[in-house]
Each structure stands twice: as structure tokens, then as C-alpha cells.
Chains A and B, each alone.
Chain A
């Protein structure tokens, strides 16, 4: 917590750039690395030095929410070790961020040493936009996005971390972007991790309702900060034959929408070179 105060106090003249460990999340790592690189760019633009510890895989939510406490604890300890040395842990996902920041401490209630470590990690862990706005004091980004977007407040970020205004603050600075708020933006999309495959019919009813709300906004792109929900909603919109595109909010804020087509869409005529963006050649 001391480190937080140090950097929020005078971001203009820090003794050194804050060391941020990016917790990539398993979905971003596997399905959409662009989101991770968008996060890296936003963090570097904000003056952070970004590291990506190799010993990370997943935050443990699938085990935690399936009742497998033992494996969850082992995975949590792995994350705690991997991010021991950084000032902050930043996560481009509210649910993985919420897992680390709010649930890890519950796991070690009977082990004071591990509980202290979990507490320490929790106090340094932020969701990406939360970190940019609340810790680094970023209130505008240098990005262009022509179009009308709508925004889904994914549940864990909203209710475990209290995310709400951060995305709107930053999106309002994107040139060309118009935000049309989504009716029922705080209603779950039906993803729920393993829920969507354990109870597919119920999940389908939920995501169908979400897709209809998205279509009703007249927006051409849906944004959110949670890849699982985005994959769920994108998959439903596409199955419905909808023309609405879906992206992670970080891609728009980092001005990296050119680097990759929207979620679930094929690359256009001039395929963007993700590797080029990844290699940091864009600046």
C-alpha cells in the first residue's frame, strides 16, 4: 500500500518507473494476445516498466469455482511467487483481478504466513483500467476510433473491484468515439466460466438477452474489459447474424484496433501484422 501512495502522490517525478507485472490471464494468452499488448502499451505510455513473469498460467478461478480448493491454493501460491518482486500486478480482466485481489486471501485463512503473502499481493493488484485511472492518474489516452460503441460492465470487475467510471473516463478521450450506454449493462451475460458449458441452455438464454440489448443500442462495436464475456457475447452476436463487432476495451484505448480484427472475425484484405505491433515497432 505504501508503494501505491508513493506513485499516486507525484507521478511526474518518480524515483524510477513503477515496475508492473502483467498478469496476462489464460484467455488473453491463448485466444487474444493483442489484448495483452494493448495493456503493455497503455502501461508503458503511462510511464510504467512492464514485466511478464514466465511462471504464470492462470489465476485459478476454474479450480476455485469448481470447489477444488487444494489446486486453487497451489496455483495461488505460484502466482504469489511469480509476482513477488514487482510493485504492482496489473490484469486486463476484472474477474482474474478480483480473484487475486479479493479471493486469494480467503484461501489461506488457516495459514498466517501465506495469508500475509496473499494480502500483500492483493494490495498490489489492479485491473488494467483501474490501475491506469486510479493509481497512475491517467484521464485521457491518445487514440482514434471512429464509431458508436457500447459497453458491458462485466460482473466481477463491477462488483468485486468496483469498476465503473474508469472505462467511461478513458473512452471519452478517444477521438471519434461515441458511447451509447447499454440497457442492463450490469446484468450478467451468462458466461460465468464453466457455467456456460455446465448449463448451456440457461447461459444461452442469458447471452441471447445480452446480444439483443447490444443490438438495440445501435452501436457498431461492443466493448468490455473481460475476454470471457466478450467471447461469449461475440459468439452469440455472430450466431445471430448480427453485424456488431466486439473488442476488448484496451485495444481501443491503446489505439491498436488496426493490429487485429474484432473478436471472432477473420483478418481483412490487408492482414494486420500482429507481430509487428507486438514487437513495439508501432511507435
Chain B
């Protein structure tokens, strides 16, 4: 996927003007927040579980090499195969090699953000392999030729009437007069269309929420059952996962699951939790002939040992974006790459470079709500600030902002001069603005005054008035002086 993160501002401006999008964002805002809160309130030990989940992941990251090799051994011993992919291109080539060897014409896909990161659909199409998204949201956006706008709710930027219009446009096999205005009807229609696709597919590709080192199993959590059909019906199952999905034990995976669904959708558990541990064995009734796990690095190992290591704890619940006021304002597409919202603002510069994605960690008020709901205690604002530090060190910010900051900092470090300067400016602004009490326009402050008024200063600075008060008190009898 070609990133447009560098054009975040333009993307955001379009998003703010897009009435359909604004309507969809307005609808999504409260749902996730309220449901998560209810789920948290129902589980008194939620915060302890968060601490535990964080410890699990920290431990796994400290010993990543060990657990990944353990995982590989287990997968191999169960008849599966692990493919290491240092880069996105390596991962795509592994998929292609498997597809070509099996002569695959159609591939079904469960929802996978890593596949989005790889731009896998586009890549497969360019090799004349037809990818079919089977998650309802992913299916809808595939029809529209759009990337997901949210990591767990890919079509959250759409309204039901838009989906209806898309289905009517693409599903010409059904009578045009059919009723299609209700969610149920849309789901049933998608299900009817997809059912045959599952049966036709040569290969099923899924992501993974967890890779379990001790058992060699991969795990997905889903709500639609599409993941199970994707991985059980075709003869080949390919799992694409980034390497930080590893956890040591089955129990560790289930510990994190307890915070995952609650944080994501407010469910105690997702409807389906599916474990895959190798191809069909002798005596198994079902299962694929081949089982492959493609382990993607794509920049993650470089985050180990850096100030961004904590980001690798992320379990992709989406709580940060569900609670982010900037995400609520502009939606996920504005972020310009696979991962939107606060987690994307930290992860995207790590994976595609801060030159491309420099806006993302800046487009935050540091309100801190993301961190407060993150089940893995990832200090998202702090890491966004680290990105700003990197940008500052590399002189990536606009020159006027940089110069302004330098001048201000030089002044702020000279209290005498600072107080003189503020005194003069406060007085000048007071004189000009006092009649109205505020300014509708100010030079060099268009970003502020285009949208809101600026209050006129009261006249004197606090330091000035305090000095006057102290002088008066020194002149007056000592009786009302505070005791020293």
C-alpha cells in the first residue's frame, strides 16, 4: 500500500469536509466507548489483568528469539512450515511461491492487518490470483477498492445506506427490487455470496492474534466465523503474522484474550476463538493439507531495545483509536497507511519512516485518553513525543515553527528579558483589544483566529502586578504581612 501519511493535513481536510464520513464517525464514537466501559466495570480485576498481560508481553519481547525458535520447532514437528520474512517483499514472495506451487486461482482471506501492511491483495491481483476478503467489513471495502479505516472495524467509515448501494451495484445476480435496508439483510446477502467463494478457494490466508511458542499454535479471534471457513475449507492454510504476536504459553494467550475483547468491542470474549496447529493429521476428520506460518519482521526487530519497544506489546484491540478525539474527527484513512489512530501514530513512523509519517505523532493533543484505555499500558503519548524528538533532531519540522520555538526558548530562559517582553506585549494587546475584550484576528495567529476569538490580555502581567503588590506591602505597616 502506497502511504499518503505525508499528506495527513490534506487527507484530514478532506475528511472533515466529507459529510458521509462525519455521519459514520458520529455514530461510532459512543458505541465502542460505552461498551468497553461496561465490560471493564463488570470485571473488578480488569486492571490487574492489564498488568499481568503487560508482563507477559514484556517477557516475550525480552526473549523474542528464544520463543520464536521454540514456536518454529513446534510448528515443524506438527508438520507445518515457518517462513521468516525480514521484509514485506520477502513475505509477499513467500505467499506467491505457495500460491504458484499450488496453482492457486482464488485465495480467501480472513481479516489481517499484516496482509494490509503487505498490500497483499494488490500484489496477488498483479499475479492473476483473486483474493477474496471474507470478513464482512473487509468484503465491503474490497468491493469499494478502499483500505480499512480501523484495525478492528475496517468499514467503520461507512454508513449502512452506502453499503446497500455498493451491494446493489456489485451483486447483480439478485433481483433489484429486493429489500436491503436492514443490517440483517446485508449480512445475509454477503453470506450467500461468500459461501461459494469459500468452497472455490485454493488457499486460505488468515492473520494471527497470537502465536503460542509452547504449542506451535496460531490463534485468531473473530466474530463472524469467516476465519474458520477460510482456514478449514481450502487445502492450504497460510498464516501471516508479525513476530511480536508471540507469547510463551497457552495460558499467556488466554490471559491477554481476557483484556483484548473487552478493550476492543466490550465483549467478554469474541464469538470465535480459533486455534490452528498444523495440517490435518492421520485420523483427523478435517484440516488443510499444508500449514504455513509467514513470520514478518518489516522493521519490528529494530524497535527492540529502542524507546519504541513498548509499542510491540500492542495487541491491536483498537481501544486507542476508539477513544481518540483526533481519530473521531478525521477517521482512519487520513492517517495514510495501514495503522491509524494513536497506535498508528507511533507504529507507522517505525515501519515506514518518520520522513513519510512525521505528521502522525504530531497530530495529537496529548490528551492521554489512549494511554488510559490501552490494555497493554503502552505509553502512547510519550512515544509520540519521542518521535517529535527524532524529528527535531533531524530538522524535519517546518523552519518557521523551529525558529519560533528557538526564539521563544531563548526568551524563556532569560526571566528578566522575558518579563519585559511579555509586559510590553500584554500592554499593547490590551490597548488594542480591550474595547471588545477579544480579537477576531491576530497577525501570525491565523491558525487560532480563523476558527475562534482570542481573549485580550488584562493589561499588566501577573509578575508586574505582584511586584506592585509587594512594593505596596513593603511601604505599608507590617501588620498584614504574612509571617516569615
Contacts and interface: CB of A to CB of B under 8 A. Distances in A.
Interface of A: 16-17, 24, 26, 28-34, 36-37, 44, 49-50, 52, 54-58, 60, 62-69, 71, 74-75, 78, 106, 155-156, 159-160, 186-188, 190-208, 231-232, 234-236, 238-239, 260-261, 263-267, 274-275, 278-280
B435 interface: yes
A155 B469 contact: no
B405 A63 contact: yes
Interface residues on B, range: 35 or more
Interface in B403-422: 405-406, 408-409, 411-413, 415, 418-419, 422
B415 to A, nearest CB: 5
Contacts of B461: 29-30, 33
B329 A205 contact: yes
Contacts of A190: 325, 365
A179 to B, nearest CB: 22
A81 to B, nearest CB: 11
B66 interface: no
B462 A29 contact: yes
Nearest to A49: B482
A115 B364 CA distance: 27
Nearest to A205: B329
A-B CB proximity, top 4 nearest = A192-B365, A235-B452, A67-B388, A67-B392
B438 A264 contact: yes
A232 B371 CA distance: 24
Contacts, number: 234
Contact of B468 (A155, A197, A275): A275
- Name the prevailing secondary structure of the B interface residues: helix
Contact of A69 (B326, B372, B389, B422): B389
A110 B206 CA distance: 44
A146 B419 CA distance: 36
B365 A188 contact: yes
A71 B393 CA distance: 12
Given A52-B463, A69-B389, A203 B451 contact: yes
B314 to A, nearest CB: 20
A235 to B, nearest CB: 3
A201 B13 contact: yes
B253 interface: no
A200 B448 contact: yes
A104 to B, nearest CB: 14
B409 A202 contact: no
Contacts of A62: 405, 408-409
Interface string B361-385: 0111111110110000000001001
